[in-house]
Amino acid sequence: MTAPAAPQMPPSVGPPLWLLAELTYRCPLQCPYCSNPLDFAQTESELTTEEWVSVLRQGRAMGAAQLGFSGGEPLVRQDLPELISEARHLGYYTNLITSGLGLTEAKVEAFAEAGLDHIQVSFQASDPELNNAVAGSRKAFDQKLAMARAVKEAGYPMVLNFVIHRHNIHQMNDIISLCDRLGADYVELATCQYYGWAFENREGLMPSKAQLEKAEAEVNDYRRRLEADGSLMKLIFVTPDYYEERPKACMNGWGSLFLTVAPDGTALPCHSARLLPIEFPNVRDMELRSIWYDSPGFNHYRGDSWMPEPCRSCDEKGKDFGGCRCQAYLLTGNADNADPVCSKSPHHDRILAARRAADHATAGIEELTFRNANNSRLFFRG
């Protein structure tokens, strides 16, 4: 690794507060909305335990306070307890984001002893048949239920995540009811975001506006019932920006708060950014501080000097930063363009076309393109 360069530290750039450690792209599930790169099987060798420890130490020294262990499926990594222990020693607040497959009661206890603060378990649906069909695993649902209960019994807050799309959005009441019965503390109902495999399957995943409005009404109604019953369960409903007229402030601004390190050590301002035609640095070649403050990749879309019209003269550019660069690239072929979600974008018609297509989509689960089983299937040990 090269010696750290003298940081230029632009005064408007603070430290990364949230570090996402994508430990691996390997996963036992084959979800058709997987956000991992389409060519994930071509990723070079994963960082070693020692390399990850170095990344964690550098991130904490820079001021990162929250650390997410993600993937793929992070449970694939046999050194996960060691990494959790190191993160605790460094003073991070740690979050494990998992499918629950490969998790056991013994591992839950071991992670607690190592100092893990938070476990989030993902589901695909509220019933076994649909859940397992989407996940590409015949036993996924029962395992998830068991591990959600184990997490709760171990004293963790129960945090459940459901990716919402046109094939499960009709289950909204059933999904929340399941979470209520399990004693969930937080439920994230995250409508599918169209990157990676989800972009490939967008026409088969994107709900119609009518479906979305119905689901949102059901969530709000359930919130009122929970409040009346004195329940402390929190529902977080993340709606798709494809039905908005202004783009989201993606990642709170490029290279602003979030720093992602991919399995091979590539450092990114968001987990999808490696699809862009930009060269991003690797933690094997540069110190994290130099990557964050000095690298061309991280400075590429900071500020607003890069913006073309209509963003350059827009009085809302300080709110949304021109929207999502990855979305602009996927939908227009040029990451510099205004996010087409914005009604001011000259490419907004592509969003309108996607909405119309969602109103008439008929594809079933069996017609979706699932993550490549031959390249990613892994059977857990222990």
Residue-level pLDDT at 378: 45
Radius of gyration of the chain from its Cα atoms, rounded to whole angstroms: 21
The pLDDT of 296-308, averaged and rounded, is: 96
**Nearest-angstrom CA–CA distance, 363 and 365:** 7
Residue-level pLDDT at 372: 66
The pLDDT of 87-113, averaged and rounded, is: 97
The pLDDT of 156-180, averaged and rounded, is: 96
From 174, 223, 167, select the one nearest 191 (Cα to Cα): 167
Between the two ends of the chain, the Cα-to-Cα distance in Å is 34
| Two tokens, residue 297 | 């990749």
Is the model's pLDDT at 26 over the cut of 60?
Answer: yes
From 150, 44, 164, 63, select the one nearest 98 (Cα to Cα): 150
**Nearest-angstrom CA–CA distance, 279 and 296:** 8
Annotated binding site for [4Fe-4S] cluster: 27, 31, 34
Q: What are the sequence ranges of the domains in the chain?
A: 18-238, 304-361
Annotated binding site: 27, 31, 34
Residue-level pLDDT at 11: 46
- pLDDT band, very low/low/confident/very high, at 37 (cuts 50, 70, 90): confident
**Nearest-angstrom CA–CA distance, 351 and 242:** 6
Q: What is the mean pLDDT of the chain?
A: 92
**Contact between residue 73 and residue 102 where contact means Cβ atoms under 8 Å apart:** yes
**Nearest-angstrom CA–CA distance, 318 and 198:** 29
* pLDDT above 70: percentage of residues in the chain: 93
The pLDDT of 166-170, averaged and rounded, is: 96
Is the model's pLDDT at 308 over the cut of 90?
Answer: yes
Residues ≥6 apart with Cβ < 8 Å to 169? 191, 207, 211, 212, 215
Is the model's pLDDT at 374 over the cut of 80?
Answer: no
Is the model's pLDDT at 8 over the cut of 50?
Answer: no
- pLDDT band, very low/low/confident/very high, at 137 (cuts 50, 70, 90): confident
The pLDDT of 329-340, averaged and rounded, is: 97
Residue-level pLDDT at 3: 43
- pLDDT band, very low/low/confident/very high, at 380 (cuts 50, 70, 90): very low
Is the model's pLDDT at 67 over the cut of 60?
Answer: yes
178-233 pLDDT, tens digit each: 999 999 999 999 999 999 999 999 999 999 999 999 999 999 999 999 999 999 99
**Nearest-angstrom CA–CA distance, 179 and 151:** 13
Predicted structure pTM score: 0.92
Residue-level pLDDT at 40: 76
